[in-house]
Amino acid sequence: MKIGDKLQGKITGLQPYGAFVELEGGLTGLIHISEIKTGYIDNIYHTLSVGQSVLVQVLDFDEFSRKASLSMRTLEEEKHRLPKRHRFSSDRRKYGFAPLARSLPIWTEQALKFLKKEKKSS
């Protein structure tokens, strides 16, 4: 199991702070209440139930204790992302390091003039 894996599990217990999930291979994990769904959850018992099958994503895995931090919210949000449109243009050339490279000689000249002026006045 590694971070980012999507696994099927079964809820084995509910507490006001989250849900315990049994995963494949006898591993267990916790879905914190903030990771169940986007938005506020007033009562976890109205959202999930013991024995419910859920799809979760691994947020963190402790190899020593063999316990995982899980999320259902990341999978929900993944579905709502808008596809990024690919634009075929060269309009990005005016951004990035090119403007900095053009401005560097001017900034250097200004800095040297300032330092010379400061040296004369001291």
Q: What is the CATH number of the domain that holds 73?
A: 2.40.50.140
pTM above 0.75, yes or no: no
Identify whether 1 is part of a domain: no
Residues of the domain holding 21: 6-80
Whether residue 46 is contained in a domain is answered as: yes
Q: Is residue 71 part of a domain?
A: yes
| Residues 17 and 33: beta-carbon distance below 8 Å | yes
In a domain, 15, yes or no: yes
In a domain, 94, yes or no: no
pLDDT in tens, 45-104: 999 999 999 999 999 988 888 889 999 998 887 776 655 555 555 555 556 677 778 889
Q: Which of 28, 62, 34, 61 is nearest to 47 (CA)?
A: 34
pLDDT above 90 coverage of the chain, percent: 48
Q: Is residue 119 part of a domain?
A: no
| Residue 49: inside a domain | yes
In a domain, 86, yes or no: no
What domain count does the chain have?
1
Torsion of CA 16, 22, 28, 30, to 10 degrees: -30
